[in-house]
Amino acid sequence: MANNQFSLLGQRRFLPFFLTQALGAFNDNVFRSALVILIAFKAADLSSQEINFWSNLAAALFILPFFLFSALAGQWAEKFEKSASIRRIKALEIAIMALAALGFWLNSLPFLVGVLFLMGTQSTLFGPIKYAILPQALRPEELVGGNALVEAGTFLMILLGFLLGGLLMGLDDGPLWSSVAVLTVAALGYWSSRNIPEAPPVAPELKINWNLASETVRIMGFLRGNTVVLHAVLGVCWFWFYGAMFLAQLPNYTRENLGGNEQVAPLVLTLFSLGIGIGSLLCEKLSGRRIEIGLVPLGALGLTLFGLDLYFARPGAAPELGLSAMQFIQTPGNLRIVLDLLLIGFSGGFFIVPLYALIQQRAERARLSRIVAALNILNAVFMVSASLLAITMFSRGYNIPEVLLLTAILNAVVAIYIFTLVPEFLMRFVSWMLVSALYRIRVEGIDRVPDEGAALVVCNHVSYMDALIIMGAVKRPIRFVMYHRIFDIPVLNWMFRTARCIPIAPASEDAALRERAFAEIDAALAAGEVVGLFPEGSLTADGEIAGFRSGVERILSHRPVPVLPVALLGMWESMWSRRDSALRRSRLPRRFRARICLLAGELTEGSAATAASLEEQVRALRGAQA
């Protein structure tokens, strides 16, 4: 098993795919950058108006295939074996790059722009496979790290490709060197694709619908069935809106507002891309190798705060023009701008990686490629919308810092809207912050919770934080049954309500509430949800496990679902248990940042489980490392 995300780079099930997709992103941007330089500086007798026409046409034609062919690409990715499909796509890339070399030799802008359309088509075909193959190649606990490497690698290759394409086209024989580069990289991408292990089709019986319009409508409909996936998709699309808005303005922003020369534009792009790469790679470390959507609100907050600060750092024109990279860095006040650009990218990494991993985890496996295809269509819509908004604002007299300021403000509005619709994101953020601040946790075996269908998780009950810790560790939403007085604790109550926890009371306190709780538990299990239970019925008063009560048997007699026994270790020594007095429990540092462990046993058939047998399994787990 991979110990961290970087160890995946030494494994055949990931490395060839990683190299293939990274080389593809690199080659796209070598060609696009070379074409932009050719249009702007190398093409003879082009007026400023003609340069703007060809530049915008090139951008539009690269995006157009995502509208036209994503529905077909999603079907193809699910019907056929993925490694063979990738090899075909990379062979197509070699052919397209041969056409690019011919276009450079002919010095024909119409021909080269047509080649860019073909490159967009190739990227469209690859997109659904790129994200759908990861859940087949990686274990659930590796998804965050794998996505982080893919996102970091993609942005690094975009940066390097952009720089190399501009550098090569700037040479005396720029078209020749650009042709050699794109053909060489395409060949390397095909070579690496030949080592990708097989990834079986998830829907081999699927009949291809060649009516792309009706299929586009149909795959967009797949997003409506799962609220969390839908809003994760919208979150990803919003990130690309935000990123497209920033990246499109960076060249002119560098010249007009930062006062930089041609050396500073690559520096600004490097800061943005480097920030995304670092933020992406840190996701695995901060999330404990789990899909922690609590990082998404943290990323959204950073995108807004550092976007706002970038505006206030330089709201108008640069005081001095023509600065070299070193002069720009040494100019007073510019270090703040450098940090803002880096931290905007950093926050973007926090925002995007958990969302991609969440889509891969929560989407139905047989439809994942088509859902990614729907995501690509919406991405294209959002990116075009970003361009239209920028054009509209410029036509009304706004400057670039004001456009970026509006983007940062819109980010806050969109984030609040999404987190209001799906409060699970914000709940996980608050619970992640609390648990990360209070504990250092080790988790083993919790991936035995079934990927789908009803299940019951039973655990010993040591502290008021137990439910939050388990909810953070289990990859599926889990509805905990808890004593109503704990459920009503201020602050925690909001998280428990958001997580749809089920309050319960002893019959002696509130018989009606108790019966409603059992009815709600049965309804949740009937709907295929995961329910968490503390069968002791109350917090331990001495650190030991009390006898499991018969309520668990009542639940299983009505609904004999699989049961996963879980044990919490180390919580008695931490804050929020009932050990000592309230004053002594809060004493630091003995109770703060405690090392705790969450151990899961083997999944047990509900028809064979009893309160006594489940108690015995939890005691054995707890005794194994107590």
Q: Which amino acid makes up residue 306? A: F
Edge-first strand listing for the sheet containing 530-533: 439-444, 594-600, 563-569, 455-459, 530-533, 478-483, 502-504
> pLDDT confidence of 189, banded at 50, 70, 90?
very high
> pLDDT confidence of 414, banded at 50, 70, 90?
confident
259 — phi, psi (to 5°)?
Answer: 75, 20
Is 433-625 CATH 3.40.50.360? no
Please state the rounded mean pLDDT for residues 284-290: 66
Structure tokens at 136: 């087949």
pLDDT in tens, 243-254: 888 877 877 788
Is the pLDDT confidence value at 180 over 90? yes
Give kind and range of the element (H or E) at residue 624.
helix 611-625
Is the pLDDT confidence value at 590 over 50? no
Is the pLDDT confidence value at 54 over 80? no
pLDDT in tens, 14-34: 999 999 999 999 999 898 888
User: What is the rounded CA–CA span in Å between residue 353 and residue 559?
Assistant: 37
Is the pLDDT confidence value at 55 over 70? no
DSSP state of 331: S
- Sequence ranges of the domains in the chain: 7-202, 210-422, 433-625
Q: Are strands 594-600 and 563-569 parallel, antiparallel or unpaired?
A: antiparallel
Give kind and range of the element (H or E) at residue 598.
strand 594-600
User: What is the rounded CA–CA span in Å between residue 99 and residue 105?
Assistant: 10
Give kind and range of the element (H or E) at residue 183.
helix 174-193
Percent of the chain past pLDDT 70, that is, above it, reads 91
> pLDDT confidence of 270, banded at 50, 70, 90?
confident
In sequence order, what are the beta bridge partners of 532? 457, 480
pLDDT in tens, 364-406: 777 888 888 888 889 888 988 888 888 888 888 888 899 999 9
| pLDDT greater at residue 236 or residue 420 | 236
Residue 260's closest CA among 163, 334, 311?
A: 334
> pLDDT confidence of 229, banded at 50, 70, 90?
confident
Architecture of the 7-202 domain = Up-down Bundle (1.20)
Q: Rg of the chain's alpha carbons, rounded to an integer?
A: 27
User: What is the rounded CA–CA span in Å between residue 451 and residue 454?
Assistant: 9
User: What is the rounded CA–CA span in Å between residue 336 and residue 271?
Assistant: 12
Residue 109's closest CA among 58, 143, 72?
A: 58
Distance of CA 595 to the CA centre of its chain: 28
Gap between the terminal Cα atoms of the chain: 25
User: Which residues, at least 6 apart from 22, have a Cβ–Cβ distance to it below 8 Å?
Assistant: 153, 154, 156, 157
Is the bond into 16 cis (omega within 30 degrees of 0)?
no
The pLDDT value given to residue 1: 45
Architecture of the 210-422 domain = Up-down Bundle (1.20)
Instruction: Count CA within 13 A, CB hemisphere, residue 364.
Output: 13
Please state the rounded mean pLDDT for residues 91-120: 91
Mean pLDDT of the chain: 84
User: What is the rounded CA–CA span in Å between residue 321 and residue 113?
Assistant: 33
Please state the rounded mean pLDDT for residues 223-227: 76
Please state the rounded mean pLDDT for residues 459-486: 84
User: Which residues, at least 6 apart from 559, have a Cβ–Cβ distance to it below 8 Å?
Assistant: 454, 522, 525, 526, 606
Structure tokens at 604: 């047990």
Rounded to two decimals, the pTM is: 0.73
Q: Which amino acid makes up residue 467? A: A
Distance of CA 582 to the CA centre of its chain: 40
DSSP state of 444: E
The pLDDT value given to residue 626: 42
Please state the rounded mean pLDDT for residues 351-361: 84
Least confident of 37-51, 193-207, 299-313, 505-519: 37-51
The pLDDT value given to residue 554: 92
The pLDDT value given to residue 61: 83
| pLDDT greater at residue 183 or residue 581 | 183
Please state the rounded mean pLDDT for residues 442-462: 87
Please state the rounded mean pLDDT for residues 431-446: 79
In sequence order, what are the beta bridge partners of 260? 323
pLDDT in tens, 313-332: 988 888 888 888 888 888 88
Structure tokens at 385: 């919308």
DSSP state of 548: P
Percent of the chain past pLDDT 90, that is, above it, reads 28
Residue 141's closest CA among 4, 297, 263, 259?
A: 4
